[in-house]
Amino acid sequence: MTPIAPHITAFLRERLPLQRGASEHTCDSYAYAFQLLFEFAGKRLRLTPSALSLEQIDAKLVMDFLQHLETERHNGPRTRNARLVAIKSFMRFIEHRVPALLEQSRRILAIPAKRTDSHLISYLSMDEMQTVLNAPDLQRHDGIRDRAMLHLCFSAGLRVSELVNLPINAIEWQPSPNVRIMGKGRRERLLPLWKQTCVDLRAWLAVRGPAPATELFVNARGQPLTRSGFEYILNKYVQTAAERYPVLKQRHISPHSLRHSAAMMVLQATGDIRKVSLWLGHADIQTTEIYLRADPTEKLDAMSAVVPLSLKKGRFRAPDKLIASLRGA
């Protein structure tokens, strides 16, 4: 039996960050996936996770684990698929380290991803977004921070991980104000900053103080903000904005909704899906096509460009005398 602990340690500490250059967020996500898998396997096999062997992580156990995620943890298909991606990546790593497990690995790699529904994106209109941005109290220290943070997240279309990990030196003032973002897949992009965004950022930097953290946005203790911290802040101001737009009370507005709102703004301003893709830092333009589905103006333009067919008009002839008499009544 092959102990699993040294191999998973090498995978998370060497394979992902050093050999593949995976981000810290990706490494954390994979580590959490294996935490769930090993806890499940330990209970199923009545072993401590550290006593598990590679041979015990077979295709049937992985399938049962995926079913457990959906039925007991109530995870959706996307989360289920993300956990499966982590497991498959580890098994490809194992194929070269333990060739004797090649057949076992092949069986796990053959497990298909579950198809997911493709819903329209949720985004804020410009008036709704403006109301959210005006919600922070600029007479307070945290209000100045929150206004700058929300404005930058929206205007640059940042992922929440990009926002909370953004270093101070990512803001470049000369020769023109820009923000340098290291995005998903280590793809770097440079975006210009709006004039009002610059005003909000300068106001925050003036009161930020000498916090030891290198991140741009910090909490009251001078520590970097977390994803959950930003989600709490956004939810607070969405509730404030809902007093003016009650429809927001029935909608789920997440940090990613700000990114969607930025994408829709760029699409409606330029009409160019390629510019939206560059703004968001997408690796594949097909990912950006979700915004075309959500923009009704694109369909209206298509309708106006099409000459409707000229169809022959006629009357329906009722085949039954009773129906004919009723039609003439």
**Position 309: which residue type?**
L
Least confident interval from 59-68, 126-135, 187-196, 289-298: 289-298
- At residue 139, what are phi and psi to the nearest 5 degrees? -90, -5
Q: Per the residue annotation, which of 88, 180, 184, 227 is the catalytic one?
A: 184
Instruction: Give me the pLDDT at residue 310, please.
Output: 61
Q: Could you tell me if 178 and 271 lie in one domain?
A: yes
pLDDT class of 287 with cuts at 50, 70, 90: confident
Helix (H) / strand (E) containing 183: none
Residues 98, 204: one domain? no
Do 93 and 214 reside in the same domain of the chain? no
In whole angstroms, give the CA distance from residue 295 to residue 297.
Answer: 6
Domain that holds residue 33: 5-109
Give 11-49 pLDDT, tens digit per residue. 999 999 888 888 888 889 999 999 999 999 999 999 999
Residues 137 and 229 both lie in one domain: yes
How many structural domains does the chain have?
2
Q: How far apart are CA 204 and CA 141, in angstroms?
A: 8
Answer yes or no: do 154 and 101 share one domain. Answer: no
The whole-model pTM stands at 0.72
Q: Which of 189, 251, 256, 275 is catalytic?
A: 256
245 is catalytic: no
Q: Using the predicted structure, report yes or no on whether residue 132 has a pLDDT greater than 90.
A: yes
**Active site annotation includes 80:** no
Q: What is the pLDDT of residue 48?
A: 92
Q: Which of 56, 78, 109 is the last residue of a domain?
A: 109
Whether 152 shows a pLDDT value over 90: the answer reads yes
Residues 234 and 296 in one domain: yes
Q: Is 74 a catalytic residue?
A: no
Please check whether residues 38 and 170 belong to one and the same domain.
Answer: no
Indicate whether 328 belongs to any domain.
Answer: no
Catalytic position from the list 30, 123, 237, 291: 291
- List the catalytic residue out of 15, 80, 145, 159: 159
User: What is the C-alpha to C-alpha distance for residues 230 and 174, in angstroms, rounded to an integer?
Assistant: 29
Residues 254 and 134 in one domain: yes
Whether 103 and 133 share a structural domain: no
Domain contains 319: no
88 is an active site residue = no
Output the average pLDDT for the chain: 88
- More confident position, 131 or 308: 131
Largest distance between two CA atoms of the chain: 91
The catalytically annotated residue of 15, 80, 145, 259 is 259
Sequential DSSP letters for 25-86? HHHHHHHHHHHHHHHHHHHHHTS-GGG-BGGGS-HHHHHHHHHHHHHTS---HHHHHHHHHH
Q: Is 60 a catalytic residue?
A: no
CATH code, 147: 1.10.443.10
What is the enclosing helix (H) or strand (E) of 212?
Answer: none
Q: Is the pLDDT of residue 268 over 90?
A: no
Same domain, 221 and 253: yes
Q: Which of 4-8, 21-25, 103-107, 186-190 shows the lowest per-residue confidence on average (mean pLDDT)?
A: 21-25
Residue 172, in any domain of the structure: yes
Is residue 94 domain-shared with residue 134, that is, in the same domain? no
Reading the block at residue 92, the tokens are 């490809």
| 173 and 286 assigned to the same domain | yes
